[in-house]
Structure 1
Amino acid sequence: MTHQTVALIGATGKAGKYILQHLLTSGYKVNALIRKPKEFLISHPLLEVIQGDAKDADTIDMLLQNCTAVISTLGQKPGEPLCSALATRHIISGMEKHHIERYVFLSGLNLDVPGDRKSETNQAKSLWMRQHYPEAVANKQDAYELVAKSNIDYTMIRLPLIEQTDERRKLIVDLHDCPGEDISTTDLAEFIVQQINNKEYVRKAPFVASL
């Protein structure tokens, strides 16, 4: 038992399901934000389900109570209002209120940060995303800018395609360009949980991929 409680946003998503399981297996208590608890079938002595939406400030405040870290896999669902920047504002505000320092969140490889040296292939992928989903990409970029300007110890993990698998592979981390075409959800979950207490990538935006 770690005696740490982690707030998890996106526990029902592709990556979130694996992250939740790895957190519980590792002995973390988890406050999981779930929009539809009746459809959520997982139960565990270390798990508390908080019903609500990340776009609601009061819900985020409730989620973060008694937590020592926040993990978010929040993604933009087609046809729904933009959520990344709004949810990030609520998360930053809640973290400051509850004196939480550690924030780990996921984003696509198309997000740009100072110091990037993307290959021509990855630059083309980023351009394609900006051309086809300009509002969603801009909203994600705004979310990153918000945490970058804050005082919280964030790590933004940038990903290629996610492959849902229990298979473990060698994980590659690069601060300047994405080193692979996909990532195993099992590799990703293990890496994310490690970041809760790992300071190596604090206030950085590493790319990660599986061999």
Structure 2
Amino acid sequence: MERIQKIAVIGGGGRTGQYLVSQLIGKGYSLKLLLRHPERFTIQSDLIEIVHGDVLNPEAVGALLEGCDAVLSTAGQRQDQPLVASQASINILNAIGDRPVRYMVLAGLNVDTPTDRKSEETAKATEWMRTTFPAIHNDRQKSYAILAESNAEWIMVRVPYIEFNGNRAEVRVSATDSPGAKIDAADIAGFMIDQLTDDTWLRKAPFISN
């Protein structure tokens, strides 16, 4: 694929997203960040352009993706707010259109795909999410279905419990089951950035862990 120069980031103001933004800046990428509360964002860089808006707003997403070669989303579900995952994917895919824009999105290990062979532990975690937060679970599953039916260059990165120590470690990857019980946010960021130039997991939903 052609060299990626400008990257749109959604969820960059969140805990995982800040690791992603910092690592992208460190690699010299130009960024466009979609932020609902830009006044709270503390990372400073000449490489950052801020778009004020919400991923649930199609116009804001369209403005964000203008001129971008990839879009990375670490946006999670907001407490007591409208469901995010599936509508965000719809808005992003509509903004991408037929352009060769790579779309990477973060999800939990509870998302199911047809080729999964989940262990008992992963299956229990999936069932807990399905039972405890059925609307959120179903919305994230719907997001996967939307991606799977699209022609976009997507990757859904599925993760277990996220730690925020900032310590880089070996990342294990599996197509069928979560290879571990936790992962550091710094390693999530690193893996997502690596996939900008690697087609191994294109149109797939790998599990990653430490």
Band of TM-score, shorter chain: over 0.9
Q: Which residue of 2 aligns with 1:144?
A: 144
Distance 1:79 1:104 in 2: 25
SS in structure 1 opposite 2:44? coil
The reply to whether residue 201 of structure 1 matches residue 201 of structure 2 is yes
Unaligned runs of 5+ in 2: none
SS in structure 2 opposite 1:103? strand
Distance 2:147 2:122 in 1: 24
**What is the identity, as a one-letter code, of the residue corresponding to 1:184?**
D
Q: Which residue of 2 aligns with 1:24?
A: 25
Q: Which residue of 1 aligns with 2:181?
A: 181
Give the deviation of 1:14 after TM superposition: 2.0
Give the deviation of 1:77 after TM superposition: 1.1
The reply to whether residue 120 of structure 1 matches residue 86 of structure 2 is no
The Cα RMSD (Å) is: 1.1
| 1:71-150 correspondence to structure 2 within 5 Å | 71-96=72-97, 99-150=99-150
Give the deviation of 1:101 after TM superposition: 2.6
**What is the identity, as a one-letter code, of the residue corresponding to 1:127?**
E
Unaligned runs of 5+ in 1: none
Contact 1:14 1:162 in 2 (8 A): no
1:102-160 CA-to-partner distances (Å, cap 9, x unmatched) read 11111000000011000011101100100010000101111111111110111100000
SS in structure 1 opposite 2:143? helix
SS in structure 2 opposite 1:117? coil
**What is the identity, as a one-letter code, of the residue corresponding to 1:121?**
E
TM-score normalised by structure 1 residue count: 0.96
Contact 2:68 2:101 in 1 (8 A): no
Give the deviation of 1:3 after TM superposition: 6.3
Q: Which residue of 2 aligns with 1:164?
A: 164
Deviating above 6 A after TM superposition, structure 1's stretches of 4 or more consecutive aligned residues are: none
SS in structure 1 opposite 2:90? helix
Contact 1:67 1:100 in 2 (8 A): no
Identity value in percent? 36
The reply to whether residue 38 of structure 1 matches residue 17 of structure 2 is no
Q: Which residue of 1 aligns with 2:51?
A: 50
SS in structure 1 opposite 2:187? helix
TM-score normalised by structure 2 residue count: 0.96
Distance 2:121 2:190 in 1: 27
Q: Which residue of 1 aligns with 2:153?
A: 153
